[in-house]
Amino acid sequence: MEERREAPTRERRSEEHQEPLHPAIEDDAEETRRLTETWAAPTGFVGWFMPVNQRIIGRRFIVTAFVYFVLAGLLGIAMRLQLAAPENDLLAPEIYNQFFTVHGTAMMFLFAIPVLEGFALFVVPMMIGTRDMAFPRLNAFGYYVYLIGSGVFFLMLLVGMAPKAGWFNYVPLSGKLYEPGLGVDIWTTMITFIEVSALTAAVELIVTILKLRAPGMTLNRMPVFVWASLVMAFMIVFAMPAIIVASSLLILDRLVGTGFFVPEMGGDPLLWQHLFWFFGHPEVYIILVPALGMVSTIITTFCQRALFGYTAIVMSIVATGFVSFGLWVHHMFATGLPHLGMSFFMAASALIAIPNGIQVFCWIATMWGSRMRLATPMLYVLGFFWVFVMGGLTGVMVASIPFDLQVHDTYFLVAHFHYVLIGGSVMPVIGALYYWYPQMTGRMMSETAGKISFGLVFVGFNVTFFPMHQLGLEGMPRRVYTYLEETGWGELNLVATIGSVVLAAGFATTMVNALASLRWGETARRNPWGAETLEWATESPPPPYNQRHIPVVKSREPVWDWREEDERPVVVGLRSDRREVVVTSMLDAEPQAVQVLPGPTIWPFLSALAATVGFIGILFHPVFFVVSFFLAFFSFVGWFWPRRPWQED
Amino acid sequence: MRQFAGTDVSGLTRFAKQTHPLYAGIIGLIAIELTVVAMLVVSYSYLMLTAPEWPPAGLAPAPLLWPSVNLGLLLTSMVTMRWAGNRITAGDRRGLILGLLASVSLHALVLVFRALEMAAYEFRWDDHAYGSLMWTISGFHFTHVASAIVGTLVVAILAVKGYFTPERQLGVVVDTLYWNFVSAAWIPFYLALYWGPRLI
Ligand code: HEM
């Protein structure tokens, strides 16, 4: 296993550290107690609205996102039941339209992005060896905004006023003329809300990753998952504003009669499509990139050897980030844009296969000849390979314009994007859930249930979505609530529906497993998988301060180094009576300063409420714009006002 | 496992300025907002370039005088802000307060001029896409100037209370950073809204 690691051997290290012999540090129980006290999160009902610790917020994101996964999954099953037989009348057309819109929107905005953010918020600070995010309160704010926004959006379904214009909400279909009522209004405002939450998480992640890494963790020693989270965060920063602008313009069109998307007034519906896909395409990679980081992490651990081609993998991740911004037009091939431009985007669409291919080869090289341990996380990664490669293949097919024009808006597309989304993202995420569960709860999830769940998901998934390729080629359009007997699509649809029930059973097994293991799971040992990264260099679950000492890092696999050397260097000199973390330089992670982090507070929650009053109020009266401006102002002052005694030093 | 001291950080500053994560965070916020600015300018240009006539028939391009005066005021306020920061570095609290208030007054003047200018527009936002864009972008910038003013007023109050010292001035540093963004964001809007129609 050591062939590829340039870990310093015992001899080399003792040479380096001969003079002066470093005295060992003994942990003082009194100081440990004080650390616990300083970093503890408040409890009780009011306390629930106050914590700012990164692991608590990250866990909330993950749990909430999985709730939406289940809800939106149920909608998917309902649609499949409706389509099981021709001219079925389980769901009325109105309802079917609401269902696919809410299913798509919820899966993309309420589940996929938040769950990956959640994992990043939960794992990254521990992986880089620090104790919290750089802006803990902002982190909490992001969560409440997400919770409120997504909750309001989903409630619309219960009262029968959900939007019906599809997850990309094209104008003019989403204009006042075809979609009166509150549905689309809520869609636009709540999407903006959720994007704000994503943006706060992104800024947090970028700054935390660039400034709070453990001393010695230079950029090229950073774990791949951290790289992936960094790239995801940058993509969010440059992609999300487009959708915020787009939905703000749309809400203005709907509320005060502006004409951005109205041709008679000199506006242009295509503007919506450009803005939406300028965000929408990177969005797919925002979901994909961190999932690929999870795959790298899991492979390294379960093959017990350093990742082959670290540099190549990091470069591919970064390249994916850049190229994905050049792809938006490929969603609009059917709109009749100028030819030269179209060819450019067609080339770019095919180009994105290259960095992804490189990563796949590096993973194969890592796994080649290793003694792989086939635990559940690794099984999900293997499942990911198969499904993702299939999705990639159909992706290259639809990137070619002549083919795209054929299958545009058919079930071929539905099959393609479920292959990419479930294969590329959901499977690694489930694997990651099994993998990091011990750090979230202190227990292990059941392996038996995990293997059953994987089997059901893998079979169910392919049975559900593979036939849709054929249905698409036979011409079955997407977004129809039923089809005629004579089309002959009945059998394949029935197969797909049966598959979807199996698939759902697979996901349900994992969800039940996660809940049951809270109570009955085996207690986790320290570093149960034998991983190499810093989130495992502490107990399971970690104490509120994450690590007793912030470590000093000398390679890409610090935990394996310490395993060999049986000693490790750590940071000393941080105070334990307030929340202090080390700030290091961006490239080389040299210690530069100490940041004093704020403690628990209610202000982020109040600020989120202020924003809610504004965003929802605006739908009813413009004066709420001014009201919320001042509410937000006061809550921000409360948030930032320095507490006495002003931190003296 | 044996642990030994790899680095001692007890002597490192707790009052970092440019190296403080908050500084990087504000740059992140500005990056987001600059993308929003870019998206607005792109939307404006997209509709301008696809329209047969811009502004719509019967309208002249909006007058240049007041927007140009505002540009001057906004750029000057960046200088006064900078000066305020220098004063507190030198330990001169009164200079800091003076500089902050001068900058706030300049921005307040901009708000007045902008309000007068918008009141004099010959079109409403629901007349045509041109009107929608003029009003929306103006509103966006107006709101930003207003928030920069209230934010800086809070900093000024803290300054009066003696919170800032040559050491502890992160608040002033990041407020200045955001201030500069708000002031400079007028440049692309100014070029697009007032020069764009004249140049195509
Ligand atoms: C339990 C598993 C799932 C099932 C059974 C399922 C089923 C479906 C069905 C039947 C449709 C509607 C097709 C149509 O009428 O056009 C659909 C659309 C969609 N699904 Fe899924 N799906 C599942 C999981 C997911 C996941 C995990 C994601 C994303 C992360 C996702 C994203 C979407 C999107 C974006 C649409 C398009 C909605 C629209 O047309 O606006 N689905 N799905």
- How far is residue A368 CA from its own chain's centroid? 29
pLDDT for the residue A138: 92
* From A75, A103, A498, A507, mutation site for ligand 1 pocket: most ligand atoms within 8 A of C-beta: A103
Count of Cβ atoms closer than 10 Å to residue A633 Cβ:
17
**Which atom of ligand 1 is the closest one to the Cα of A464?**
5
Average pLDDT over residues A437-455: 95
CA distance linking residue A279 with residue A245, whole number of Å: 10
What percent of the residues of chain A are helix, what percent strand, and what percent coil, each to the nearest 5?
65, 5, 30
* The pLDDT value given to residue A19: 46
| Nearest Cβ partner for B21 among A216, A595, A633 | A595
Spatial distance between the Cα atoms of A110 and A359, rounded to a whole number of angstroms: 28
**pLDDT grade for A613, boundaries at 50, 70 and 90:** confident
Highest mean pLDDT among A195-199, A562-566, A630-634, B59-63: A195-199
Query: In whole numbers, what is the pLDDT of chain A averaged over residues?
Result: 88
Dump the DSSP string for A409-472: TBHHHHHHHHIIIIIIIIHHHHHHHHHHHHHHHSBPPPHHHHHHHHHHHHHHHHHHHHHHHHHH
User: Would you state the structure tokens that stand for residue A177, as one six-digit string?
Assistant: 């003329």
Round to whole Å and give the CA distance between A505 and A499.
Answer: 10
DSSP state of A523: B
Instruction: Determine contact: A417 vs chain B, CB below 8 A.
Output: no
Is there a contact between A271 and B46 if contact means CB atoms under 8 Å apart? yes
Higher confidence at residue B187 or residue A573?
B187
Percent of chain A, pLDDT > 70?
93
Higher-pLDDT residue of A52 and A635 is A52
Minimum CA–CA partner of A279 in chain B: B39
Nearest Cα residue to atom 12 of ligand 1:
A100
Q: Count A/B contacts: CB-CB distance under 8 Å.
A: 198
Please say whether the dihedral angle defined by the alpha carbons of residues A485, A489, A492 and A497, taken in this order, is positive or negative: negative
Give percent above pLDDT 90 in chain A: 56
pLDDT, tens digit (0-9, with 9 covering 90-100), for B9-52 = 888 888 887 888 999 999 999 999 999 999 999 999 999 988 88
Q: Is A587 on the interface with B (CB under 8 A)?
A: no
Residue (of A634, A555, A620, A560) closest to A220 by Cα position: A555
User: What's the CATH code, domain A46-523?
Assistant: 1.20.210.10
* B50/A265 Cβ within 8 A: no
| A386 vs A355: CA distance, rounded Å | 17
Residue of B10, B13, B14, B157 to mutate, testing the A interface (most A Cβ within 10 Å of its Cβ): B14
Distance CA A422, CA A225 (A): 19
Q: According to the model, what pLDDT value does residue A5 have?
A: 47
* Tens of pLDDT, residues A25-42: 888 888 899 999 899 888
pLDDT per position as a tens digit, A123-171 = 999 999 999 999 999 999 999 999 999 999 988 888 888 888 888 888 8
A497 lines ligand 1 (CB under 6 A): no
CA closest to A269 among chain B residues? B47
Domains of chain B by start residue, with CATH: 16-199 (1.20.120.80)
Q: Would the CB atoms of A568 and B158 count as touching at under 8 Å? A: no
Cα torsion A45, A51, A54, A60 to 10°: value is 20
For an interface test with A, give the residue of B3, B127, B164, B178 to mutate (most A CBs within 10 A). Answer: B3
Q: Tokens representing A633? A: 């102002």
Question: Does residue A74 have a pLDDT over 50?
Answer: yes
Q: Which of A241, A174, A254, A255 is nearest to A624 (CA)?
A: A255
Domain spans, chain A: 46-523, 603-647
CA gap A157, A173 in Å, rounded: 19
Residue type for position B85:
G
Question: For A189, what's the count of Cα atoms within 13 Å in the CB-facing half-sphere?
Answer: 26
Q: What is the pLDDT of residues A500-545, one digit of tens each?
A: 999 999 999 999 999 999 999 999 998 999 999 999 998 889 999 9
Calpha distance B2→B110 (Å, rounded): 63
Indicate whether A57 pLDDT > 90. Answer: yes
pLDDT greater than 60 at residue A3:
no
Given a cut of 50, the residues of chain B with pLDDT beneath it are none
pLDDT at A26: 81
Chain A from 93 to 122: CB within 8 A of any B CB: none
Q: Which of B5, B24, B47 sits opposite A211 (nearest CB)?
A: B24
- Using the Cβ of A24 and the Cβ atoms of chain B, whether some distance falls under 8 Å is answered with yes
By CA distance, what is A133's nearest residue in B? B21
Q: CA A477 to CA A560: how far, in whole Å?
A: 53
According to DSSP, residue A21 is labeled P
pLDDT, tens digit, 9 for 90 and up, residues A339-372: 656 677 777 777 778 888 899 999 999 999 888 8
Minimal C-alpha gap between A584 and chain B (Å) = 9
Query: What's the pLDDT score for residue A338?
Result: 62
pLDDT at residue A162, as a whole number:
85
Q: How far is the CA of A72 from the centre of ligand 1 (A)?
A: 9
Average pLDDT for A85-104: 93
Given pLDDT bands bounded at 50, 70 and 90, which one contains residue A455? very high
CB atoms A583 and B19 under 8 Å: yes
- pLDDT tens-digit map of A278-327: 888 888 889 999 999 999 999 999 999 899 999 999 999 999 888 888 77
pLDDT at A9 over 60: no
Q: Which alpha helices (DSSP H) does A40-132 contain, by range?
A: 44-47, 54-83, 93-105, 113-127
CB A492 within 8 A of CB A80: no
Mean pLDDT over A243-268 rounds to 90
Asked if residue A496 has its Cβ within 6 Å of ligand 1, the reply is no
pLDDT for A314: 94
Pairwise CA distance, residues A38 & A545, whole Å: 8
Three-class SS string for B124-182? CCCCCHHHHHHHHHHHHHHHHHHHHHHHHHHHHHHHHCCCCCCCCCHHHHHHHHHHHHH
Strand runs (DSSP E) across A455-602, as ranges? 567-572, 580-584, 591-596
Amino acid at A132: D
Select the residue from A16, A205, A230, A594 to test the B interface by mutation, using most B Cβ atoms within 10 A: A594
List the single range of A160-164, A213-217, A588-592 with lowest mean pLDDT.
A160-164
Contacts of B43 in chain A (CB under 8 A): 245, 249, 260, 271, 275
User: What's the whole-model pTM score?
Assistant: 0.92
A164 lines ligand 1 (CB under 6 A): no
Q: Is the CB of A330 under 6 A from ligand 1?
A: no
User: How many of the other CB atoms lie within 10 Å of CB of A71?
Assistant: 19
CA distance B97 to A100: 57
